[in-house]
Amino acid sequence: MPTIKRLHKKKTDYRKHGNNAIVAKIYNSQAWQKLRNAYLLQHPLCEMCLDEDRVTAAEEVHHIKPILTGKDEYEMQTIALNPDNLKSLCSKCHHKIHNQMK
């Protein structure tokens, strides 16, 4: 019988967000942790790699529209917790996207 590998919680250094307390609060919330884990279970493969005909396990969840585009805490939380705004990625593809955004 196939088994599902348990996701390990990864501690992230949220200082890269300019010490944004709201972003840190969102990422540390139980709502985000549950959504992130559920999304990775539903989308276990990197979506960018699949588009390029490669099969790679997803390790991270990317926000298509960045959280910091929200004008206030409520809007930022709405962006962060919208499952339609998420994409599962491997670390390599996630870094590639963020490097292109800079």
Residues 31-50: tens digit of each pLDDT:
999 999 999 999 999 999 99
Report yes or no on whether pTM surpasses 0.75. yes
Judging by beta carbons within 10 Å of its beta carbon (0-12, 13-18, 19+), is residue 25 exposed, middle or buried? Answer: middle
11, pLDDT greater than 60: no
Helix (H) or strand (E) holding 95: helix 91-101
25, pLDDT greater than 50: yes
17, pLDDT greater than 70: no
Percent with pLDDT over 90 in the chain: 75
In angstroms, the Cα distances linking 85 to 7, 39, 77, 79, 93 are: 21, 11, 12, 7, 17
- 10: pLDDT confidence band, cut at 50, 70 and 90? low
Is residue 99 within 8 Å of 76, Cβ to Cβ? no
